[in-house]
């Protein structure tokens, strides 16, 4: 089955710096890669996603890149703000015989210091 | 208001006492799933359902059951809970299984003693 590895597990940056979180996946049939943000005590919420026919997608300060050949994708947050502090999860949606199965990474705790 | 509602939010129970966590969505979503969240392990899928009467195992289905008799409801059943099922559980729904945002419930904090 699919295996998603996420790094780093914790990330600490100063306000205004950039933050990068990386994920690798194992199943070449995976074709959809969302990123979720979970604030303390709250539910995960989608912040950006990318499909396998796209290499990069940007939404204001957030961008995601996908390298299908290497089977990795990354989340980039520029000009970080204290409200970006949260746990971030990457995920991969499997195609093929396990259609509909969403596998998450282990999560990255991002702390933005004012 | 479009939402996914789980109940209860918090539950402390004893080993072996059957329990059900309910999940209901009002968005007419076809796809629903259950996850458990444990420190350092992220969100792991327990079961998912692509439509009424269609369910399938996720990564950690052992010790859990689900049913999907109606489109809006997707209860999670623990027939004989054990302490290793102590976790934070999330239900989620999406319009389809493919390429669409998953909306999560508020979470259920379960403790099995």
pLDDT per position as a tens digit, B74-88? 999 999 999 999 999
Length of chain B, in residues: 113
Give contacts of A52 with chain B, Cβ < 8 Å. none
User: Three-state SS across A38-106?
Assistant: ECCCCCCEEEEEEECCCCEEEECCEEEEEECCCCEEEEEECCCCHHHCEEEEEEEEECHHHCCEEEECC
Q: Strand runs (DSSP E) across chain B, as ranges?
A: 4-7, 10-13, 19-25, 31-38, 42-51, 54-57, 65-66, 76-78, 87-94, 103-104, 108-112
Average confidence (pLDDT) over A68-81: 96
CA distance A100 to chain B (A): 5
Confidence at residue B98, expressed as pLDDT on a 0 to 100 scale = 65
Size of interface A-B (CB pairs under 8 A): 62
- Cα Dmax for chain A: 47
pLDDT value at A31 more than 90 = no
Please tell me which of the candidates B31, B44, B59 has its beta carbon nearest to residue A100: B31
pLDDT, one tens digit per residue, over B5-41 is: 999 999 999 999 999 999 999 999 999 999 999 988 9
Q: Does B20 touch chain A (CB under 8 A)?
A: no
CA nearest to A43 within chain B: B106
- The angle at the Cα of B84, spanning B14 to B91, to the nearest 5 degrees, equals 90
Contact across the interface for A102 and B98, Cβ inside 8 Å:
no
Decide if B77 contacts B64 (C-beta within 8 A).
yes
Contact across the interface for A51 and B99, Cβ inside 8 Å:
yes
């Amino acid at each position: 089955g699919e295996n998603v590895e996420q790094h780093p597990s914790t990330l600490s940056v100063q306000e205004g710096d950039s933050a990068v979180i990386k994920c690798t996946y194992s199943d070449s049939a995976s074709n959809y890669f969302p990123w979720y943000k979970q604030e303390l005590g709250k539910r995960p919420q989608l912040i950006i996603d990318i499909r396998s026919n796209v290499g990069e997608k940007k939404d204001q300060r957030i961008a995601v890149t996908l390298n299908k050949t290497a089977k990795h994708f990354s989340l980039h947050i520029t000009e970080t703000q204290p409200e970006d502090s949260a746990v971030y999860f990457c995920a991969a949606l499997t195609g093929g015989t396990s259609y509909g199965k969403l596998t998450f990474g282990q999560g990255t705790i991002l702390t933005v210091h004012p | 208001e479009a939402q996914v509602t789980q109940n209860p939010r918090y539950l402390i129970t004893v080993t072996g006492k059957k329990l059900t966590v309910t999940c209901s969505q009002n968005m007419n979503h076809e796809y629903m799933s259950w996850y458990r969240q444990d420190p350092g392990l992220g969100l792991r899928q327990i079961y998912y359902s692509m439509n009424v009467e269609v369910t399938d195992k996720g990564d950690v289905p052992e010790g859990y059951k689900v049913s999907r008799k109606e489109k809006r409801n997707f209860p999670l059943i623990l027939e004989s809970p054990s302490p290793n099922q102590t976790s934070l559980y999330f239900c989620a729904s999406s319009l389809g299984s493919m390429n669409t945002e998953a909306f999560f419930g508020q979470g259920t904090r379960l403790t099995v003693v």
